[in-house]
Amino acid sequence: MHLAELNIAVPRYPLDDPRIADFMDNLERINGLAHRMPGFVWMHRDEADGHAMHQPTPWPDAAANLSVWERAEDLEQFVWNTVHRAFYARKAEWFEAMRTHHFVMWPVPEGHRPTLAEAKARLDHLDAHGDTDHAFGWGHLPHVGMWRAKRCG
């Protein structure tokens, strides 16, 4: 089994606003880094322009990042041990605080490419039931722990 992850965020500003430019100007750099990381398998992209932030999502006004990794440890390395972490630390500058879960992971068979509808169902399940084997956050994975020490805020 591989690991799918979904992360959603509601931008504070229009994507062409200078106040979110540091994020937008580095988005392809960070996504490109993910593509080069050991264990990266796949990332959902808008078919029209190939840009992850321009895809329509099931969440009003939100942007979504949906990807698949070989193992949780691979995703963990990318999130917490690369320049990605510096951008994560600045998320409050660019994105609204969410009242519900904004991040979820779940197992997927090798070769499976989850849809945004599938990801939404997993996120909704996490909101309704908390961490389960069906949908979970970092805390459900005892063999990974960088998030405890390195998360921001």
One pLDDT digit (tens) per residue for the chain, 153 residues: 999 999 999 999 999 999 999 999 999 999 999 999 999 999 998 554 444 544 567 777 888 999 999 999 999 999 999 999 999 999 999 999 988 899 999 999 999 999 999 999 999 999 999 999 999 999 898 888 776 666 544
pLDDT in tens, 66-104: 999 999 999 999 999 999 999 999 999 999 998 889 999
Structural domains in the chain, CATH included, are 2-150 (3.30.70.100)
Farthest CA pair distance, the chain: 41
Given the DSSP bridges, would you call strands 63-69 and 40-43 parallel, antiparallel or unpaired?
antiparallel
Give the global pTM: 0.88
Question: What is the 8-class DSSP label of residue 98?
Answer: P
Q: Cβ(116)–Cβ(4) under 8 Å?
A: no
